[in-house]
Amino acid sequence: MIKGTTKLLGVIGHPVEHSLSPAMHNAAISHLGVDFVYLPFPVKPGGLKAALAGFAAIGVRGFSITIPHKQAILPLLSEVSPIARAIGAVNTVYLTDKGWCGTNTDVEGFLAPLQTLPYQGEAKDSISPLERGNTAVESCPPPYQGGARGGSDWSQKVAVILGNGGAARAVVAGCAQLGCAEIHVVGRSEQNLAEFQQSWVNSPMPVQNLQVHTWDNLSMLISQADLLVNTTPVGMYPQGEKSPVADGAIDRISAGAIVYDLIYTPNPTQFLKDAKLRGARAIDGLEMLVQQGAAALKIWLDQESVPVDVMRQALRQHLGLD
């Protein structure tokens, strides 16, 4: 029950009606029995500064950020974590004595399924660098020790990332934390790719082993990939029959390679179906969504653990996957 003492959390965006965050966060809040509620707040692009002032006035404890505010909010915050500056986007804001502080939990969300030994679609509630008081998220997570070729050492593995937008930045940062030997980013515009690569040179999290390519090189790169990640919207509902990778190219994926799609609806995507038919191991975007949300909730509630299983189940029910 919402009372006068109930503390407010939420998500801002425009539009925000489609957000799945309230379903998973309120399920966790109810399970924990804490006096919080998580609400969607529609905030138009021109209203971001006023929204922050209003949130401070009514005592909002923290909030998630979705399109179109992830970059625009950066200059309005009192403090931004190095990981968020490296990615160039904030997805989680929390209130401190210094004011509004921002970070990005997408990297932690992306890495969580890769740290599960072995990945079976049920990620562990792992201890994050944020929990250790390191908002810079500088320490590397344990290496993946599952069945992908190249053994347990990510320093011998090759990551191939499809797309060079905002989501790709979080994936690059995650692959850098894993210590991948090579990180290849595939995009359509040579100019945009060059700018993407240059942006990491003087970043708070420099990435030295990053290479960029146009889609013409995709087949060759897929044959080398230990980890293939789709960050593009190709294959998202309502165009679930599409895949960012043609049959001829996905044929070159190695059996045991990990194929990861950040899309979570449909579930699985055509991209993941095609990869699994060729012996690859598939990870869908639902787990990343759950784990980045769990990392944020730990910050807001100042708790070492939150019920990840409850959050996952709430989303699966909401999406009609069970």
Q: Is the Cβ–Cβ distance between 93 and 72 less than 8 Å?
A: no
Q: Is the Cβ–Cβ distance between 104 and 84 less than 8 Å?
A: yes
In sequence order, which residues have a C-beta less than 8 Å from that of residue 153 and are 6 or more positions away? Answer: 143
Question: From residue 245, how far is each of 188, 196, 199, 230, 271 by CA, in Å?
Answer: 13, 21, 26, 9, 7
Q: How far apart are CA 177 and CA 63, in angstroms?
A: 26
Of the candidates 27, 31, 45, 34, the residue with the CA atom closest to the CA atom of residue 6: 34
Q: Is the Cβ–Cβ distance between 119 and 281 less than 8 Å?
A: yes
Question: From residue 72, how far is each of 13, 62, 193, 300 by CA, in Å?
Answer: 11, 17, 22, 22
Q: Which residues are designated catalytic?
A: 70
Question: Rounded to the nearest 10 degrees, how much is the dihedral formed by the CA atoms of 270, 272, 273, 279?
Answer: 150
Q: What crossing angle do the helices spanning 308-318 and 21-32 adopt, rounded to 10°? A: 140
Q: How far apart are CA 39 and CA 23, in angstroms?
A: 10
Q: CB 98: neighbour CB atoms within 10 A?
A: 9
In sequence order, which residues have a C-beta less than 8 Å from that of residue 124 and are 6 or more positions away? Answer: 112, 115, 116, 308
